[in-house]
Amino acid sequence: MAVCGLLTSCGGELQQAESAGTGAPRVDAARKSDQGIRRDKKLVREYFPELGDFEAVVWKGEILGDARSVVPGPSDFQVSGVVHLGDGDAARLRRDYAWKSEPGTPVVLSDIRPEVPKGADWQTSEDFTLNITDDHYAATFYADFDRKIVVFDARNPERHKTP
């Protein structure tokens, strides 16, 4: 299941532990600073292989709605991140897709917002987005090719099957 693969690997929400002697929950201070932010590349590459062999990524996934629901079934989830492309992948994406200027700032999960550069020359591509999503889920991809960055935000993305 996509939710399990992406979100269990992202570490989920802040872990709680029992305070010494009180039985009250406390937020684990070591986990609080990262707030579920991840830097591992493997799952992002599995979900968005079109981004290529990028150099770095900062991302986070969250289950949407009430994750404690007693009704079994799949949950909706959102994942946002900032990908730092290598020279070759930046050139390939710029060359292989039609891009248009997109004013404003990409919408991402709140914990990822500080990672999104201000003053970027954002561009979007309907063809690129369709190539990734195959029209099966909602996603946005903003590229700044001068900075070699792609910012993504997706709801219920699907893992690509390897041949």
- Report pLDDT digits (tens) over 40-57: 999 999 999 999 999 999
Q: Answer with the residue of higher pLDDT: 6 or 101.
A: 101
Domain count across the chain: 1
Please give the average per-residue pLDDT across 67-71, as a whole number: 59
pLDDT at 26: 29
Cβ atoms of 88 and 52 closer than 8 Å: yes
Please give the average per-residue pLDDT across 133-159, as a whole number: 96
pTM of the model: 0.77
Tell me if 25 is assigned to some domain: no
Tell me if 43 is assigned to some domain: yes
Structural domain range at position 84: 2-11+37-155
Tell me if 133 is assigned to some domain: yes
Q: How many residues does the chain have?
A: 163
Please give the average per-residue pLDDT across 125-148, as a whole number: 96
Confidence of residue 32 (pLDDT cuts 50, 70, 90): very low
pLDDT at 71: 63
Tell me if 18 is assigned to some domain: no
Tell me if 45 is assigned to some domain: yes
pLDDT at 133: 96
3-state class (DSSP) for residue 76? coil
Q: Answer with the residue of higher pLDDT: 92 or 3.
A: 92
Q: CA-CA distances (angstroms) from residue 161 to 74, 84, 137?
A: 20, 23, 16
Tell me if 56 is assigned to some domain: yes
Q: Answer with the residue of higher pLDDT: 97 or 4.
A: 97
pLDDT at 56: 97
Tell me if 31 is assigned to some domain: no
